[in-house]
Structure 1
Amino acid sequence: MIKLTIPGRPISKSNFKLHNVHGQAWMPSTGKHSKYLAYENMIAGYINQQYQGDTLEEDLITILKLYFPNKRMGDLHNYPKSICDGIEKSGIIKNDKQLKPVLLFDFIDKDNPRVEVELYPISKYNVDYNITLKE
């Protein structure tokens, strides 16, 4: 199991996409919309500080724990893309398609917003879940 921590408030990719005249989405590298690319690079940098092993080639059970400073978090489902792109950019994996399944959890921590990533090689770990009725 590999555990990684990226400090700071998570950033959603959907807020920074622009579209050309043909409707294709693209990410600008300059201007106010370039904040996403900086976040992706920041994720890669923190991962490279924390993991010096070989590139992971197999699928990975991925747990993302998002810690926000307050309840203003936007659409939670847009955050994994930016995080997974940063993980891929770090070189720890070859392609973010390896990150499956992805389990997503959100928390509030006003003093220490961050993203915690846990990666479990599919060859060594199983994932299952149970949904139970509350009593």
Structure 2
Amino acid sequence: MIKITIPGRPISKSNFKLCNIHGQTWMPKQGKHAKYIAYENMIAGYINKQYQGPALEGNIITILKLYFPNKRIGDLHNYPKSICDGIEKSGIIKNDKQLKPVLLFDYIDKENPRVEIELYEASKYEITYKIKEK
């Protein structure tokens, strides 16, 4: 199991894409959109500081815990893309298609916004879940 912590408020990829009149989207490398590229690089940097082992092979069970400073979260489902792109950029995996399943949780922590990433090689671990009535 690998656990990585990325300090700061999570950033969503969808806020930085541009579209042309034909509906095609792209990610500019300059202007305010460079903030997203910097966020991906920051994630990769923190992963490389906190993990020095070999690249992970096969499917990776991924748990993402997002800690926001307030209730202004936006669309929660847009955050994993930026985080998964940063994980891939770090070189810890070859392709973010390996990250499956991905479990996503959100919390509020005014004092310490962050992203906690847990990675488990599916060949060594299995995942179970249980939903029960309150």
Q: Could you state the TM-score of these two structures normalised by the residue count of structure 1?
A: 0.96
The one-letter amino acid of 2:132's match is: T
Unaligned runs of 5+ in 1: none
Unaligned runs of 5+ in 2: none
Alignment partner, residue 60 of structure 2: 60
Q: 1:7 aligned to 2:11?
A: no
- Matched-pair identity in %: 81
Structure 1 runs of 4+ off > 6 angstroms?
none
Deviations 1:58-106 (A, max 9, x none): 1110000000001111010000000000000000000000000000000
* Whole-angstrom CA distance in 2 between matches of 1:126 and 1:53: 21
The one-letter amino acid of 2:11's match is: I
RMSD: 0.8
Q: Secondary structure at the match of 1:103?
A: strand
* Whole-angstrom CA distance in 2 between matches of 1:21 and 1:29: 20
The one-letter amino acid of 1:82's match is: S
What is the 5 A alignment of 1:1-135?
Answer: 1-134=1-134
Deviates more, 1:12-21 or 1:104-113: 12-21
Name the count of aligned residue pairs.
134
The one-letter amino acid of 2:47's match is: I
* Whole-angstrom CA distance in 2 between matches of 1:11 and 1:81: 10
